[in-house]
Structure 1
Amino acid sequence: MADLNFTAVHWLYIFGVIVVIATMVLRKNVIIPCILFTFAIGLVYKGSVIGGITTIFNASITAATGLFSIFMIISVMVALLAALEVTGADKVMVKPLKGLMKSPLSAYLVIILGTAFISLLFWPTPAVPLIGALLIPVAMRSGLPPIMCAVAIALAGQGMALGGDVVIQGAPGLTAKSAGVAVEMVTSRAGLLTAVTGIVAITVAWFMNRNEIRLYAEKVKNDQSSGYNIVEQAGGVEKTSDGERYGNFAAALMGILVIGVLVALFAFNIKGGDASALLGGAALLVIIITSLLVYKVKGMDSVSDFLGEGLGFAFKVMGPIIPIAGFFFIGSPDSAPVILGQGAPGYLFDAGNALAAVISPTGFLAGFGLLILGVITGLDGSGFSGLPLVGTLAAALGGGNANVAATLASIGQIGAIWAGGGTIIAWSSLVAVAGIVGVPALDLVRKNFIPVLAGMFVSTMVAVLLML
Structure 2
Amino acid sequence: MQVQLTAAHWIYLAGIVVILITMAMRKNIVVPAVAATMLTAWAFSGSIITGLSSIFNASLVAAQELFNIFLIIALVTAMLGALREMGADRLMVTPFRRVMRAGTSSFLILALVTYVISLFFWPTPAVPLVGAVLIPVAIRAGLTPLSVGMVIAIAGQGMALSADYIIKVAPGISATAAGVDPDSVADKSLVLSLIVGVVALLVTYVTQRRTWRKPSPELLVAWENKADKFGMTGGESAGSAGSGDSAGSGGSAADGGQGGPTGARPADSPVDSGGSVSEARPAAAATLVRTEPVAEPAPSDPPKTNSAKVFAVLVPTAYFAFIAYLLLGKFTSLVPPLQGGDAAGIVGGIAALLLFAACVTNDKRNFLESSSAHITDGLVFAFKAMGIVLPIAGFFFIGNGDFAGRILSLPETATPPAFLFDLISAAQSHITPNPVVLAFGVLIIGIVAGLDGSGFSGLPLTGALAGALGPAGGMDPSTLAAIGQMGNIWSGGGTLVAWSSLIAVAGFARVPVLTLARKCFLPVMTGLVLSTVFALLVF
TM, length-normalised to structure 1 = 0.94
Structure 1 residue 112: Cα displacement: 0.5
Cα deviations across residues 66-105 of structure 1 (Å, max 9, x unaligned)? 0001100110110111111112111111011112122212
For the residues of structure 2 that align with 1:282 and 1:223, how far apart are their CA atoms?
27
Give 1:289's aligned residue.
357
Flag the 1:316–1:344 CA change in 2: closer, same or farther, 3 A.
same
The answer as to whether partners of 1:70 and 1:431 remain within 8 angstroms in 2 is yes
For the residues of structure 1 that align with 2:73 and 2:217, how far apart are their CA atoms?
29
Give 1:262's aligned residue.
323
The answer as to whether partners of 1:292 and 1:299 remain within 8 angstroms in 2 is yes
Secondary structure of the 2:402 match is: coil
Structure 1 residue 300: Cα displacement: 0.9
Q: Are positions 1:278 and 2:350 aligned together?
A: no
Give 2:192's aligned residue.
193
Structure 1 residue 183: Cα displacement: 1.3
How many residue pairs end up in the alignment? Answer: 463
Cα deviations across residues 242-281 of structure 1 (Å, max 9, x unaligned)? 9844101112221231122112222232131111001111
**Match for 2:445 among 360, 373, 379?**
373
The answer as to whether partners of 1:85 and 1:231 remain within 8 angstroms in 2 is no
For the residues of structure 2 that align with 1:364 and 1:306, how far apart are their CA atoms?
54
Residue identity in the other structure for 1:171: A
Residue identity in the other structure for 1:445: A
Structure 1 residue 185: Cα displacement: 0.2
Give 1:180's aligned residue.
179
Identity %, equivalent residues: 43
Structure 1 residues without counterparts, runs of 5 or longer: none
The answer as to whether partners of 1:86 and 1:243 remain within 8 angstroms in 2 is no
Structure 1 residue 411: Cα displacement: 0.1
Range moving further from structure 2, 58-67 or 341-350: 341-350
Give 1:356's aligned residue.
428
Residue identity in the other structure for 1:410: A
**Match for 1:343 among 385, 403, 415?**
415
Residue identity in the other structure for 2:399: G
**Match for 2:466 among 374, 394, 413?**
394
Give 1:125's aligned residue.
124
Q: Are positions 1:251 and 2:312 aligned together?
A: yes
Residue identity in the other structure for 2:184: M
Residue identity in the other structure for 2:403: S
Q: Are positions 1:432 and 2:493 aligned together?
A: no
**Match for 1:317 among 362, 379, 385?**
385
Residue identity in the other structure for 2:312: A
For the residues of structure 2 that align with 1:222 and 1:260, how far apart are their CA atoms?
30
Secondary structure of the 1:344 match is: coil
Secondary structure of the 1:29 match is: coil
Flag the 1:53–1:211 CA change in 2: closer, same or farther, 3 A.
same
Flag the 1:224–1:187 CA change in 2: closer, same or farther, 3 A.
closer
Runs of 4+ in 1 over 3 A off after TM superposition: 218-245, 400-403
For the residues of structure 1 that align with 2:221 and 2:390, how far apart are their CA atoms?
34
Range moving further from structure 2, 244-253 or 69-78: 244-253
Cα deviations across residues 348-382 of structure 1 (Å, max 9, x unaligned)? 01112112222223310010011011111100000
For the residues of structure 1 that align with 2:474 and 2:364, how far apart are their CA atoms?
65
Flag the 1:47–1:221 CA change in 2: closer, same or farther, 3 A.
same
Q: Report 1:52-451 matches (<5 A).
A: 52-213=51-212, 217=213, 226-229=222-225, 231-233=227-229, 234=231, 244-266=305-327, 267=329, 268-340=336-408, 341=410, 342-399=414-471, 404-451=476-523
For the residues of structure 1 that align with 2:479 and 2:10, how far apart are their CA atoms?
32
For the residues of structure 2 that align with 1:101 and 1:242, how far apart are their CA atoms?
22
TM, length-normalised to structure 2 = 0.82
Structure 1 residue 232: Cα displacement: 3.6
For the residues of structure 2 that align with 1:321 and 1:395, how far apart are their CA atoms?
35
CA RMSD across the alignment: 2.2
For the residues of structure 1 that align with 2:472 and 2:12, how far apart are their CA atoms?
35
Secondary structure of the 1:166 match is: coil
Residue identity in the other structure for 1:447: K
The answer as to whether partners of 2:82 and 2:359 remain within 8 angstroms in 1 is yes
The answer as to whether partners of 1:237 and 1:306 remain within 8 angstroms in 2 is no
Structure 1 residue 58: Cα displacement: 0.6
Give 1:48's aligned residue.
47
Range moving further from structure 2, 325-334 or 284-293: 284-293
Secondary structure of the 1:335 match is: helix
Range moving further from structure 2, 293-302 or 356-365: 356-365
Secondary structure of the 1:28 match is: coil
Residue identity in the other structure for 1:310: G
Residue identity in the other structure for 1:291: C
Flag the 1:284–1:16 CA change in 2: closer, same or farther, 3 A.
same
Q: Are positions 1:456 and 2:528 aligned together?
A: yes
For the residues of structure 2 that align with 1:198 and 1:347, how far apart are their CA atoms?
31
Flag the 1:416–1:81 CA change in 2: closer, same or farther, 3 A.
same
The answer as to whether partners of 1:118 and 1:124 remain within 8 angstroms in 2 is yes
Secondary structure of the 1:399 match is: coil
